[in-house]
Amino acid sequence: MAISRLDKLLSQSGERTRSEAAKLIRAGRVSVDGAAQTDPAYKTDAAESAVLLDGQRIEDTPYQYVMLHKPAGVVSASRDTKAETVMRFLPEAMRARRVMPVGRLDKDTTGLLLLTNDGRLSHRLLAPKTHVWKEYLVTVDGPLTTEHAAAFARGVQLGDFTALPAQLHIESASAAESRALVKLREGKYHQVKRMILKFGLQVTTLHRLAFGPLKLDIPPGEYRALDDMEIEALYLAAGMDRDGRHG
Ligand code: URA
């Protein structure tokens, strides 16, 4: 984990500047593993030691970015009064830092779900004009044809709106069941299911393989932190740079 100066650590969350942090440290309001530390340049590893400001724990980084392999049967919400949520797969420390799902997968949909407490990034990734590609493996209860693929490419008309041109790559097709890869740039409610329903077919399984630059590479029910390159790539996909300025 990263070793950092105390003043840097305290300013990382964005709640105070480096010089405000230094003042707090000099005032004796910060302790490391139970002992007061008054030197702003004191170096510590916040993941290993307890750094407290006025008795409150300071973490080593303000933001968390996590990929979860969502299993079926849980809802993509931070809380729900009736159903179990995806939060049960994350450790308590992460939940306490208000990590939340970026968008939703239906309860019966499996696959890649991004979670973060970086509200600006989340907001931008979900904005209707930000067109992040999502890739799904879909099974339907009947024959998919090249006509369906052509309709996807033109943009399927759904009651209240016309979906942006999308891709349907048929992997197998029979009268009883077909399998296809779907790639689309929107994330409207039940979008894939509604697009398929336009052809008189029903989705029987739906699994998200990719979200923008992220590719699912962990087993069901597991999560992992994103690496720096993945976070940079997400920012790029959202049209932002790491300082949050819109590109
Ligand atoms: N489209 C759907 O219909 N459901 C999902 O969960 C995701 C995309």
Pocket test for ligand 1, best of 137, 192, 198, 204 (most atoms within 8 A of CB): 192
Asked if the domains 3-57 and 134-211 are classified in one and the same CATH topology, the answer is no
Confidence of residue 14 (pLDDT cuts 50, 70, 90): very low
State in Å: Cα 194 to ligand 1 middle.
9
Domain positions in the chain: 3-57, 65-117+219-237, 134-211
Identity of the residue numbered 85: T
- From 106, 108, 160, 241, active-site residue: 106
| pLDDT exceeds 70 at position 13 | no
Residues 6+ apart with CB under 8 A from 150: none
Taking every pair of Cα atoms in the chain, the longest distance, rounded to a whole number of angstroms, is: 75
Q: Which of 18-32, 162-176, 195-209 has the lowest mean pLDDT?
A: 18-32
User: How many other CB atoms sit within 10 Å of the CB of residue 160?
Assistant: 6
**Topology given in CATH for the domain delimited by 134-211:** Alpha-Beta Plaits (3.30.70)
Q: 71-113: per-residue pLDDT in tens?
A: 999 999 988 888 899 999 998 777 877 899 999 999 999 999 9
* Chosen CATH of 3-57 out of 1.10.3720.10, 1.10.580.10, 3.10.290.10, 3.40.50.620: 3.10.290.10
Residue ranges around ligand 1 (CB below 6 Å)? 105-106, 109, 190-193, 206
141 catalytic per annotation: no
**Cα-to-chain-centroid distance, residue 179:** 26
Cα–Cα dist 50/33, whole Å: 5
| pLDDT exceeds 90 at position 9 | no
Residues 6+ apart with CB under 8 A from 240: 120, 121, 124, 246, 247
CATH number of 65-117+219-237: 3.30.70.580
Q: What is this structure's pTM?
A: 0.78
